[in-house]
Amino acid sequence: MKKAAIMIFPQFCMQEISCLTELFKWYNKEITVFASSLSPINSEDGFTILPHKVFSEFNRDDYDCIILPGIWDFREALNDDKNIEFLKQFCDDKEIIIASISSSPILLGKAGILKNHKFCCGLFEEVMDEYPVVPRENIVRKPLYEDGNLITAIGFAFREFAVAVAKKVGIDCSENIFDPVTREYSEEELVFHITEEFID
């Protein structure tokens, strides 16, 4: 199984990709966290993350997907040329899966990836007025949208985003794996035992 590349930048939203990375963990898909430098990066959720590698260490043959979390304030990430140059190499790549949620499609827009794709995003209309790198003519007003190798979602569809991306990379997970609690459980249903798969 190929690995997943997680691209992070200042003020990225860990919560929007945590269901997806948890699925990768459950199904033994290794992740590598990439950034423009190896300096600590603060997430919008209050975590400080150390990237594993910089973009120059990315080996295309090792990865089948690139994941972009949303961003609370995207301006620093958008103005970091290393982020945009890294993404530009995938403009004509039809094989690698690019998955971008919430506001992060603005980075794809600046890199030119959205010119030939339909997509959705969680950007304010006024933001798109100010940053015309996002091609409005290609926007689809849906919570989640898949166009070829590009998967995009609005931030509140993080569960659906996780399942769609996981399935796209070949993980056979349930569609409702992250559904909210919708019924009462008996005490017996909430007693858990270690199974053999966890003993090793």
Half-sphere exposure of 28 (CA within 13 A, CB side): 2
Q: Which residues pair with 41 in a beta bridge?
A: 49
Does the pTM surpass 0.85? The reply is: yes
Q: Above 70 in pLDDT, residue 161?
A: yes
- Find where tokens 């909430």 sit: 190
Taking domain 3-199, whether its CATH number is 3.40.50.880 is answered by: yes
Question: What are the two backbone dihedrals, phi and then psi, of residue 52, each rounded to the nearest 5 degrees?
Answer: -80, -40
Mean of per-residue pLDDT scores for the chain: 95
Q: Give the integer Cα–Cα distance in Å for 8 and 169.
A: 20
Mean pLDDT to the nearest integer, 125-142: 95
In three-state secondary structure terms, 107 is helix
Q: Return the percentage of the chain with pLDDT > 70, whole number.
A: 98
* Per-residue pLDDT at 194: 86
**Domain residues of the chain, as ranges?**
3-199
**How much of the chain, in percent, has pLDDT values that exceed 90?**
93
- Which pair of structure tokens corresponds to residue 114? 């959205």
CA distance 83 to 109: 12
Q: Would you place residue 98 in the very low, low, confident or very high pLDDT band (cuts 50, 70, 90)?
A: very high
Of 56-60, 62-66, 84-88, 195-199, the least confident: 195-199
